[in-house]
Structure 1
Amino acid sequence: MAKIDKRFQILFSEEEIQLLKKESDRRGISQAELLRLALRNEVTKKSDLTKWKALKALAEVLD
Structure 2
Amino acid sequence: MRKTGSPSWLAYDLRVMFQGCVERGFSNTEDQTARFAALLGHQPRTYSSFAEELAKEWAAA
TM-score w.r.t. structure 2 length?
A: 0.33
Question: Whose helix proportion is higher, 1 or 2?
Answer: 1
